[in-house]
């Protein structure tokens, strides 16, 4: 094996190894972005800010209308098992 071929093989191997997680991250980010949520809406834990983890988690979160005590609200749920992530109701005016 010649030296240039050996270097090329190492570079190609490293590139292939890095391409797999890069592809997964890119696919996940595109799926999350296509959900159509606002950045503030993706604060799934209600901690006051949206992190990159919250953004990527949006790929697994659906949204549906629910009725809570006679008030129309929005429920965010996990697609896989339907578990509620959070429920957001409009503020009532006093």
The rounded distance, in Å, linking the Cα atoms of 6 and 13 is 11
Same domain for 47 and 14, yes or no, is yes
Same domain for 10 and 52, yes or no, is yes
pLDDT of 87 strictly over 90: yes
Give the tokens for residue 52: 């990159």
Same domain for 51 and 6, yes or no, is yes
Number of domains present in the structure of the chain? 2
Nearest one of 31, 51, 53 to 40, comparing CA atoms: 51
Confidence band (pLDDT; 50, 70, 90) for 14? very high
> 88 forms bridges with which residues in the sheet?
74
Same domain for 11 and 53, yes or no, is yes
Helix (H) or strand (E) holding 12: helix 3-34
Task: Give the whole-number percent of the chain exceeding pLDDT 70.
Answer: 94
Which residue matches tokens 């996990």?
Answer: 78
pLDDT of 3 strictly over 90: no
Give the tokens for residue 94: 């006093």
Same domain for 47 and 86, yes or no, is no
Same domain for 35 and 65, yes or no, is no
Domain that holds residue 17: 1-59
Give the tokens for residue 30: 């595109």
pLDDT of 5 strictly over 90: no
Same domain for 81 and 46, yes or no, is no
Same domain for 46 and 5, yes or no, is yes
Same domain for 54 and 66, yes or no, is no
């Amino acid at each position: 094996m010649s030296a240039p071929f050996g270097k090329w093989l190492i570079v190609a191997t490293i590139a292939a190894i890095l391409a797999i997680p890069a592809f997964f991250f890119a696919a996940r980010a595109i799926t999350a972005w296509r959900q159509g949520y606002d950045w503030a809406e993706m604060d799934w834990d209600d901690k006051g800010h949206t992190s990159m983890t919250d953004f990527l988690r949006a790929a697994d979160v659906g949204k549906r209308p629910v009725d809570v005590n006679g008030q129309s609200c929005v429920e965010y749920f996990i697609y896989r098992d339907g578990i509620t992530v959070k429920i957001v109701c409009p503020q009532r005016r006093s």
